[in-house]
Amino acid sequence: MASLERLPEPGTLNIGTDGAMAGRTGSYEKRLADMVGVYRDGDAYRQVLAENGPDAIVYRVAEHRYSDGPGELIVGTSTLLPGRVGDEFTVTRGHLHALPDRAELYHCLGGHGVLLLETVDGESRAVPLTAGQAVHVPGHWIHRSVNVGTEPFVTLFCYSADAGQDYEIISEAGGMARLVVSDGNGGWTPRPNPDHVGYRKAVA
């Protein structure tokens, strides 16, 4: 058993509805140039890239972690800016956990978004989220955030520190099975992605 002196101090965090996280141990940003191949409409992506530049921020992540060890948690915020690429709403890259049985909590702090959830067996869910609503994502669900509103879509997340991320499972499949697109009336709708060829079943 670890002695008390060797235990980390409890993390005290101040979390804003804008995703700001005082007390974080790390952060990163994903920019337009990082999203090559994520959106189905390549011409629309190149147009958005030309209009906004490669350094335009798509989403920010702030997090607090002690270590990557089993039993530890990663707590953080994701702030996904609004916008569209063609008729597809802005998304995070999305992933399956590298240890696929690891679950995750997403609690919406602000904005209007959708958590797009899929299994390798073809199940798909699009769960709308606004402030105060949360999704407890079981293990084995591929997940991605989508901003279907006009303000930043901010979520507080929490998952096992040893979970890791498998991003390639989506790119190898030609994208997720569903795209979240404009319905033409100011709303959103999930639409089958014709480029999706199915997920690999055996996760490396």
The minimum distance between CB 138 and Fe ion, in angstroms, equals 12
Q: Which is nearer to Fe ion, 46 or 136 (CB)?
A: 136
Compute the distance between CA of residue 191 and CA of residue 193 in angstroms, rounded to an integer.
Answer: 6
Nearer to Fe ion by Cβ, of 140 and 191: the residue is: 140
130 Cβ neighbours under 8 A, 6+ residues apart:
108, 111, 112, 113
Q: Give the CB-side neighbour count of residue 72, counting CA atoms within 13 A.
A: 16
Residue identified by tokens 């067996």 is 121
| CB nearer Fe ion, residue 48 or residue 108 | 108
User: Which positions ≥6 away from 49 have C-beta within 8 Å?
Assistant: 32, 33
The amino acid that residue 89 corresponds to is: F
**Helix ranges restricted to H, 11-160:** 42-52
Residue number with CB closer to Fe ion (137 or 179): 137
CA 35 – CA 43 distance, rounded (Å): 13
Residues 88-117, mask of contacts with Fe ion (x by CB under 5 A): ----------------x-------------
Closest CB to Fe ion among 48 and 79? 79
Q: What is the smallest separation between the CB atom of 105 and Fe ion, expressed in angstroms?
A: 10
Residues in the interface with Fe ion (CB under 5 A) total 1
Residue nearest to Fe ion (CB): 104
Q: Shortest distance, CB of residue 183 to Fe ion, whole angstroms?
A: 27
Q: Tell the smallest beta-carbon distance from residue 198 to Fe ion (Å).
A: 21
State in angstroms the smallest separation of the CB of 137 from Fe ion.
Answer: 7
Q: Does 63 bind Fe ion (CB under 5 A)?
A: no
- Counted residue by residue, the chain has a size of 204
Q: Which is nearer to Fe ion, 45 or 159 (CB)?
A: 159
Q: At which residue do the structure tokens 């240890």 appear?
A: 99
> CB of residue 159 vs Fe ion: minimum separation in angstroms?
5
Question: What is the H or E stretch that residue 59 is in?
Answer: strand 57-65
Question: Which spans of this chain sit near Fe ion (rule: CB under 5 A)?
Answer: 104
